[in-house]
Every structure is written in structure tokens, then in C-alpha cells.
Structure 1
Amino acid sequence: MFAHTTSLTLRRSLLALALSALAGAASADVLHVELDTSGFGPLSWIDLQFNPGNMNGVVLAEVSLSHLSGFDASLAPELIGDVTGSAASGFHFANTTSWNDLFHAVRGKVSFDVTFSGLADPSFNTIQSAFSVSLYGADKVTQLGNAAADGSLLRLDWTPSAVAGGKGSVSTGYLDGANVSVSAVPEPSSWLMLGAGLAMLGGAVRRRNKAALPAA
């Protein structure tokens, strides 16, 4: 009975460790965005906009896109404002202009990671920077999906940290859940913690099962 109780307590503790790793993943700075455009036809155009907030001339944020999939590099993208990069290397939205836009051909299942970075200062913590995702048909005019009033299927609002040197926070201003999904990308430390917890849990279960086997 004591061995069973100890084993149960150990398993609960290890499960709590694994869940705490996932909780840490939910607060990660990097977000993963997915869209399935296959239902809209063989070719669509994604419109990615970044409007950096500023206060008294100080611009607060930048955005980087990485791990792009489904972007058709055979058609030239349209870059407006302070946007650089390519589908192969990723794109970067800087903040020297108030409006930055990437218009790119996409096919099928589309995905990318979004990383926000910027200043952290208590005096700026009410100023948001907005990143939005819209989708258009092959004609580059027809809006697709269940768009908000501003045409976006997704809007992410980044707010600077209220503590100097701290991390900012991202909130979802709008999400067309039928066509777009957003998830946090776990930090490497979270994956390591989760992996260690699950490995220890598996070891505990194997030891318990072995102990339960009848003696030969």
C-alpha cells in the first residue's frame, strides 16, 4: 500500500512538472500562425501588415517572420514600407514607417512564426503595435474568410512591458477561428522540462509494472 501511494504521488508530481512546462510554453514570445487556403482555390494572396505604435517619436516594436511554408516564391511579392527579406530567409518588419505591408502569393496550407521585439519601459506600456493577417483571392481584390471590419482574419496586438528590461505581451485582437489558428511556440527550456518530466514519468510506470510482475 505504501509503495502504491508513493508511486501515485510520484506520478502526480511528474505530471504537474509536465503541465508546468506547457504553461510556460503558452507565454512564449513566438507565435505560430496557420491558414488553410486550399478551399479558396489554387492561388491566394496573403496580406501581412504591421503598424508599430510610438510615443513622442519613440517607436516601440519590430516583427520578424520565420519558418514560412506555403509561400509561392515564383510570384514576386509586394513590399511596402520598412519590410525586408524573402520567403526563403524570412521577413522583417522594422519601424521607421507607421505602416508596413507584405503582399505575397500563397498556396494550400500556409504557416509561419511571428516574433515581436521592442522597447520595454513603464511609460510606454499602454501603447500597442498591431500585426494583422488578411487573405485575398487570385484577383488580389476579393476578400476571403470571415474578415473583421478592417479586413483582417487575425490581428495580434503587442504591448510593451511595464517593467524596464521585461518582456512585452501579445493579445489577440481578432481571430477568424474557422480559417486561422494561432498557437504559442514553446521556448527550448520548456521542451526540455516537458521531455524530462515525461521521461521520468515513463520510468516510474515501467518500474511499477516490473515490481507488480509475479516472481519467477
Structure 2
Amino acid sequence: MEEAVRRNQKTNGYIRLVVSRGEGDLGVNPFLCKKASVVIIVGDIQLYPEKYYEEGIPVITSSLRRISPDCFDVRIKSLNYLNNALAKIEAAQSGCMEAVMLTREGYVAECTGDNIFTVSNGILYTPCLTDSALEGITRNFVMEISKKAGMEVRETHLTQYDLYTADECFLTGTGAELIPVTRIDGRIIGNGSPGVWTKKLSNLFKEAVHA
């Protein structure tokens, strides 16, 4: 990995490690592949234009439900993104850059490429991992710095009602870092601008990551 970074001459960038089953026939039996293939991608990534970190973004709720954990455990970080890609297309067709995905039971899971948080009455909420949410590294780090900042953090079941009535909302991800959400399904969140806690946590995140 260090050699890949050196060859790409990166001091600040994005690294993705991809492990596949390796060379083999066209069947689905992985045991016919003798050795796994490892691909190291080193590049730049920025999922959102800079202005959206100041203004916030609108999102929609996708009509596509998140794959249930009794079918596929979405907590595994994989490139099985067809479900996410279809929801992303739905978002783009609605003029949005992201879509909230619900579980089969109607609880909020995550977005197509980001975890989601809300703030209500000074308390930070995020979907529990059993609601088909990926345990993102950025998600966990934001929860950590939030607690250090004096916030109460709760992992719980969230519904669309909780999103619509939240004081603040933001998304987290490796490429997205921490980006405010100011409108969901056409409904204005809070006062329509990035909230106080969202700004504070964003600043704390940047101080820690870019120090």
C-alpha cells in the first residue's frame, strides 16, 4: 500500500483496497479460484462540491428498501452496490445527490454511500447497526468526538418522522466527511441552514483529521 501511494505521489488522498476471489472460471464457486486478487487504488475523492458544505444538500427517501440482514449482512464492507446504485439513480432523477434508504420494516438505515445523523434537542441520533446500517469508520469517529464535545449520542430506530422533525441532519462518509442536510423529501430541516451542532462537529472533525 505504501508503494502504491509512493508511485502515485500522494501526500493527501484516498486509498481503497479491493480483495476479490481471484482468477477462475465464470461460475460462482469461489473454491475454484486458487489465489485472491488484491487491487490498491490511490487517488483523489470528493463526493460533493465545496459549496454544499456551507449550504447543505437536499436528499430524498428512496422507494427502494435496504437489503435485509437476513438476506445479506450489509455491515460487511463490500462492492455489492446494485441496491445503492439504483437508489442513487432515483436521487439523481429527483435532482438530489443522495437518497435515504429504509429497512423493510420502515426504519432509517443509511444513505446510498453515507451514514446519517440527526440532532434533536441537543441529542445526536443515528440508526442502530441492526437496522442495516454500515458501521462506517467516519460514523464511529463522529460519535466519538461528539461525546467528547459533551453531546449525548444514541444509536436507535429512526423513522421518516424523526428525520422530518429533526433540528439538524448531516451525513458522514470517508469521501463525504461530514456534510449538512437541509431538506428531506422537500421538507426543510430546522431553519434550512446547517445547524449549530453540525457546524461545531464539522469543525472538530476537520481539526482532528487535517491536523
TM-score by length of 1: 0.22
Structure number with higher strand proportion:
1
Between the two structures, name the one with larger relative contact order (CA 8 Å, sep ≥ 6): 1
Give the greater-gyration-radius structure (CA): 1
TM-score by length of 2: 0.22
